Amino acid sequence: MSFWYLMAAAAIAFLGAVFHGIYGRRMYLGEIRKGDLPETTVSLSTVSWDMFTVLLLVSGVTLAHVAYNPAAAQMAYPVAAMNLLGAAVFIGLGFAGHKLLIRLPGAYLMGATGGLALLAL
């Protein structure tokens, strides 16, 4: 059963990486370039966006690896924690005045990824 929980968590992370890295990046960069922001701000913001995509990709790879190699189960704990804490950041910022974050799928997908990983472990 833990295999399927890990694979479901990996699939969510992979799908999140695809949508975040391709579709989300296009939308985000289109919006940020509309603003009159300094180039440094645009560049750093782009790096932040892409690093989050990398986080999702590494989460998926790690969880799939653990699913096929149960002896490596300890690798999944930091991934689960990172995703659960990321979901908490989304929710915390959402309640702290950034209400748009509550409507975005990030908190729910990260929460599902971390929760499924913990369930598997």
| Residues 18-63: tens digit of each pLDDT | 999 999 899 988 888 888 889 899 899 999 999 999 999 999 999 9
Query: How does residue 72 score in pLDDT terms, banded at 50, 70 and 90?
Result: very high
Domain total in the chain: 1
Asked if residues 75 and 65 have their Cβ atoms less than 8 Å apart, the reply is yes
Give the range of the structural domain holding residue 27, as residue numbers without chain letter. Answer: 2-120
How far is 58 from 21, CA to CA, in rounded Å?
13
Check residue 36 and give its pLDDT.
85
Average pLDDT in the chain: 93
Check residue 68 and give its pLDDT.
97
Q: How far is CA 109 from the centre of its chain?
A: 7
> What percent of the chain shows pLDDT beyond 90?
78
Please determine, for residue 1, whether its predicted confidence score (pLDDT) is greater than 80: no
